[in-house]
Every structure is written in C-alpha cells, then in structure tokens.
Structure 1
Amino acid sequence: MTTLLIIEDEVQIGRYLKRVLTADHIKIFHAENLHRGLALAAARPPDLVLLDLGLPDGEGLDFIQQFRGWSDKPIIVLSARHDESVKITALDRGADDYLTKPFSVGELQARVRVALRRSEREVEDVKKFGEIEIDRQAHTVKRAGERVHLTAMEYKLLLLLANHAGKVLTQHFILTSLWGPNAEDSQYLRVYIGHLRKKLEPDPRRPQHLLTENGIGYRFVE
C-alpha cells in the first residue's frame, strides 16, 4: 500500500486531490496546516508528500526543511506562487518537484507516478534510457551499443542527473555538487549540458532526456 500525504489548507482543493489520486493501492491522508502535516508525517511516514506552501500556521518551506531531517521520500510542491525565486528555494531545501496552480489532472498524476517510481527504484549498476546505457561499475556510457567518450566532468554530470531521474535539480544544486560550494558561474553548466546533448540526444535541439527547466535548472527524463 502506497501512502500519500496531502498538506493543503483549502478543503475543496484537498478533496479534489484525494478524488483524482485515489486508487486501490494508494492510501491518502490530508492535513490542513503545517503542524498537523508534520504530526501525520511522523506518525504515518508517507511515500509521497503533496505540499502547499501557504499554510495558515506557517510556511510549507518549513515543512520541507523539517521533513528532510528524517525522510528522503519525494515532495511535490503544489502552489499558486509563480515566482522563480520561490521555486528555487523550495527545490534547494529538498522538494523534488514544483507544480504551479492551476494544473491539469493528467500532469499531476504523471508527476506523482514519476516521483513514486524514483522513490521505489533501487540504484541499478546499469541504467538504460532510450538508446543510452550507463554502466556505473565500468564507468562507461554506450549509445546504440557503441561506446561514447565522455570527459570525467560530463560523466559526473550525467550520473548526477540520472540518479535523480524525474526530479528538478536547480543550477545551484548541480554547481555545488560538482564544483563545490563556491561555484557560481552557470555558463559552465550550460556548456556541459550542451556537450551531453550532442553526444547522447537523437536531436540535441529537441532533447528528450536532458530537459531545461527555464530559470531553475535541469530535469533528467528516462
């Protein structure tokens, strides 16, 4: 049984989310404020959290920070806030995805499926997506059976993105993960993403796997 926790102060939206996400294998709990959400998360550890940011007794950002103290289960933010700085802050604090209201049922359900798959999947020695095969033990990458030469940094970047498949990674997170806490120049990142697309994507101008989240960062899609 998969457990979802919805933290949403608007009762009608909470009921709507429960209705569109209910399935035989899913059990859903609903909290209408920050403190109730934290209590439910501790008492019944969820497999996925759907989180509104504007709560009557606090900020959803505070929930992310506290929840990350004991759980690495995925968090999808559902918020009416369109400001990119808010999205980046939520993702940097540990949210896995950010969906802006209003959103379609289909997109929400797809994001939930991706988050749950990523959470349940064990890290595999060999990862395949499309024509690409990454062998973590051999430190090799192949495309259509042919080995692709990647520089050490290109390989590290690809592995970082692939290990977080389906999750939006901010530019800040990627830069600090690969170049350290003082890294600031996102131009490095754009260059390496461009190299990977040329080497791995069927059409680098229309990438299928290494996607840009404008103003935020990148998402790896299998």
Structure 2
Amino acid sequence: MTQDLFATLPRTPSAIAIEEGVSLLQAFIDEAEAGALMQAIHGVLQQAPLRHMQTPGGYRMSVAMSNCGELGWVTDRSGYRYQGSDPVSGQAWPAMPEVFRALAVRAAAAAGFAGFMPDACLINRYEAGARMALHQDKDEQDMRQPIVSVSLGLPATFLFGGMQRAGRPLRMRLESGDVVVWGGPARLRFHGVDTLADGEHPLSGRCRFNLTFRRAR
C-alpha cells in the first residue's frame, strides 16, 4: 500500500478509520483554531526555542524541535527520554497552552479514545528537505494511551508502517488542519514523515509544524 491516500478528497471535516485503532480526522481544525494554535506555538517557542537535537548515535535531526507541558521529549548522546526541564536552559518546559490541551482531548475522543489527558507536547518544525525516519513512540509509561498528531502549514506525507521497521509503509497525505490519532493495537506501529517538499503556506510560511501529544507518565 504505497499510494498517497486521500490526496484528492474534498477538504471537508471527516473521520476516516484507517484500521483498528487508527483514525485520520481530516480538516478537523478550522482556520480560526489554526491561527490560535500558531499564536500559541510562537509563545511557547519564545520561552523554549527550537533546536536540532542529536540522536544517541550522533546524528543531527533535520527536524527542529521543542516541547511544552509537564514533560518534554529529548534526545542526545545519552539516549531518548522524557524530562521535566529544558536541557538548554535548565528551566521547566513552558506550560501547555489550553488551546493545545483542548484540541488533543477533543481529537482523541473523536477517534474513540475518551479520557485522554496529555502531559507532553512535542513541537516539530519541518522545513524543505526535513524528514522523520520510521520509528516507534515507546518512551511513554502507559501504552494504553493514544498518540495525537496535528498538522499545520505545508502538506506532508505521513508514513505508517507495521510492527517492524521493514516493509513498505502506508502513505497518507496530510494537509493543514488534519489530525492523526493511533492507539490500541496500533499503538507501537512504526511511523514517520517523508521528505518535505518546498512550498509556502499562508499559515506557516515555508514550513510545516507538527504537534504530537502524548501521555508520558
């Protein structure tokens, strides 16, 4: 299944069940909410600027990252982990804006995961040429909690693989305002983002922002 799914569907709000535990909430975020989210993103980044983190193997990630919430996900030569403070500043991560939390709770409920309450939000900025290799989200303590992934700005191709890294992943085109939620039997599926094409979007300029909400502990 390597085709780009949903690339030609109309931009109307719809919940599409990809498989058990996986939903694409297409056009879930309207223009007004998207603007409020971008404003909140800039507020967080004033306190905890984006940075290109390093993997334990010494690889510099092409995606620029920051965090907000009680915990933030970080990677460096010491490994992958959640921690309550920004390793750059030594200060606590910025509080999660209420507009973030409300969206994550609403999206999770729409996908069948009522009661989700995130304590961590990873902010990713993709510029042209940036990508995210296939990986699992497995640093969280409770695998019963879903992942909520929000797309803002330039479109991207989301890669959704199986329980092993090998094999060709499903490809889903994500537009600004789309949300992908996965959990249950799909919680540990490998996933990533294909190389971002150059372009410009009225919301974000020449980049894409992704908000990934998790319950880390």
TM-score over 0.5 for the alignment?
no
TM-score, normalized by length of structure 2? 0.26
TM-score, normalized by length of structure 1? 0.26
Which structure is higher in RCO with an 8 Å CA cutoff and minimum separation 6? Answer: 2
Greater Rg by CA: 1
Which structure carries more helix by proportion?
Answer: 1
